[in-house]
Structure 1
């Protein structure tokens, strides 16, 4: 699970990435890391796709909780719709590349013989929580999935907790950009299911020792 910052306002979102770099370089980075781990003896891999960053308050098109400027982006442009749309385009495109590239590298190119790979759909999990937060979070005090708990001014000098930190399990977001502690707990629980081979958010691919290929 790497590279989320590469989509943000200091990289692809504002066309500030390293010259010549494209979304394919983001997914390729994952497999380059796998090459090094595989060379060291690793044979089981868990990959995460990119979360729906267009839902985070930093990038959201939300008149109440989509922020016009944040401590992470003090000079943010005013067109929140354009920001959210471009972020959605980037993340969904990268996730599609990763989905097909994983199948190709494991089953066709046989890049890592005898390796077992799970691809965890973090994008879908967080989208499901956003669509129905009451199923996952304590919604006794909140009504919007885009609420976040820790608020700071643009300078990052004056900060305060919503509800004095009395309901930390109610929030999807810790601040404008980062998931809350409760969200991390939910993700960890689902990852445990992935490792047991039981998660509906995961796809599994293997290049078996006897030449059999499974997906």
Structure 2
């Protein structure tokens, strides 16, 4: 064999070794996308419509990344109902059991080497001890890893203080109709999201030595949505003026228990919808979901590292 061929073979081996030890999957590795979480990731929300009342981000991410989508996220979900008692499905009591049931009965067959698992949870868990909430997300990685999964993306909490529900200028709405100190809520939510995300990064980093042969990334939903808020011209493209403080479907309620419903509802239609950052007082708009999907898909296929931190 010529010296040139030997040298080429050495470079090929070194290149493969580098990718095998690299942080994050190699380009083109991921073919399947399995999503867990709440209404932010639910493609149906149990009522036939996602949280954005249009097409949820996992559908777009599958399209942008050329993935086959396996969605398990459910509207209203917490990480575990043992931590946050609610009359809604949860990741550990409903979503994971359904996933394992389908895997065991043969209706779901996935190759762990080309499958990415994502979790976006926490919106419905706020108010619970942050250590327990983040620990539950860490346990999600542990459980799936123990069952053979090897590629994970955990999406941190977006800046909930920027939603209408938790903003300082909030009004009585479909999610909260009682009197409250909106400034206090805004400050408290800012503290929760920042503390929770810092804790998540620390706990997931501490987990990585136990995940031999795996890839784990933290997608910075907080940073991305904050950037949309600060620079809407880079992300929103509707026919109306950019709007990051209002929403497509806004319903104001009276502070009166005898009132059965909203006093007024303003709903934007048509192409102007893509000018809004939020769909309603809590959920991102479809255009924002497209942005999230584009960046997550780009991170997974390794076209961009702007909003992801691959720990391993």
TM-score (norm 1): 0.80
Partners of 1:188 and 1:139 in 2: how far apart? 18
> Residue 53 of structure 1: CA displacement?
0.3
> Residue 157 of structure 1: CA displacement?
8.3
Partner of 1:49: 156
Partner of 2:211: 112
Are the counterparts in 1 of residues 243 and 275 from structure 2 also a CA contact under 8 Å? Answer: no
Partners of 2:157 and 2:198 in 1: how far apart? 10
Structure 1 stretches of 4+ with a deviation exceeding 4 A read: none
The reply to whether residue 71 of structure 1 matches residue 174 of structure 2 is: yes
Partner of 2:123: 4
Give ranges in structure 2 of 5+ residues lacking alignment: 1-119, 254-260
Partners of 1:143 and 1:116 in 2: how far apart? 37
Partner of 1:203: 309
Structure showing greater Rg = 2
The CA RMSD over aligned residues, in Å, is 1.7
> Residue 171 of structure 1: CA displacement?
0.5
Partners of 2:150 and 2:196 in 1: how far apart? 24
Moved more, 152-161 or 142-151: 152-161
Moved more, 172-181 or 95-104: 95-104
Partner of 2:199: 97
Count of residues paired in the alignment: 185
Are the counterparts in 2 of residues 133 and 139 from structure 1 also a CA contact under 8 Å? Answer: no
Partner of 1:125: 224
Partners of 1:158 and 1:39 in 2: how far apart? 50
The reply to whether residue 81 of structure 1 matches residue 183 of structure 2 is: yes
Are the counterparts in 2 of residues 49 and 119 from structure 1 also a CA contact under 8 Å? Answer: yes
Partners of 1:73 and 1:157 in 2: how far apart? 14
Give ranges in structure 1 of 5+ residues lacking alignment: 207-215
Find 2:146's aligned residue among 15, 25, 39: 39
Partner of 1:213: none
Are the counterparts in 1 of residues 215 and 310 from structure 2 also a CA contact under 8 Å? Answer: yes
